[in-house]
Amino acid sequence: MISKYGDFSAEQLNEYRERLHSKMFWLLLYKDPKTSDQFETVNFDRYFENLMKELNGLGDLLLHPNGLVEMMSELEAAYNESMHEEFSYPIYRKFVLDAHNILDTMNWEETADDYNG
């Protein structure tokens, strides 16, 4: 795949996709009522913000792949839910899992620019 700075192999992209899955999975553990007490020292806000910045950088690097905005929107909705006074873990979990599904279906070979001209 062609990127802003050169080519990436399908293997490299698949390995990175798996790392992103892992990073998103931690979002579930940090907020799950059954496990969150094990992660009291984790700065959730900072972790989330860094993940979103990483995804934004990925968008620039891969020339704005289709699905990235939708995936980040799902994660932002999860974050917003986590900030509600009446936080609902099932709703939060659904947003995070929807982002996982989008990541799985993203074709990084196609960019948003492919459809603009």
For the stretch 30-88, pLDDT in tens is 999 999 999 999 999 999 999 999 999 999 999 888 899 999 999 999 999 999 999 99
Give domain status of residue 61, yes or no. yes
Give domain status of residue 2, yes or no. no
Instruction: Say what the pLDDT of residue 69 is.
Output: 95
Taking the complete model, does pTM exceed 0.95, yes or no?
no
Is residue 115 scored above 50 in pLDDT? no
Give domain status of residue 4, yes or no. no
Per the structure, the count of domains in the chain is: 1
Q: Count of residues for the chain?
A: 117
Give domain status of residue 117, yes or no. no
Give domain status of residue 1, yes or no. no
Give domain status of residue 3, yes or no. no
Using an 8 Å Cβ cutoff, are 44 and 30 in contact?
yes
Domain that holds residue 62: 9-112
Using an 8 Å Cβ cutoff, are 66 and 107 in contact?
yes
Interior/surface letters 71-108, b for 16+ CB within 10 angstroms, e for the rest:
bbebbebbbebbeeeeeeeeebbebbebbbebbeebeb
Give domain status of residue 52, yes or no. yes
Q: How confident is the model at residue 94 (pLDDT cuts 50, 70, 90)?
A: very high
Give domain status of residue 41, yes or no. yes
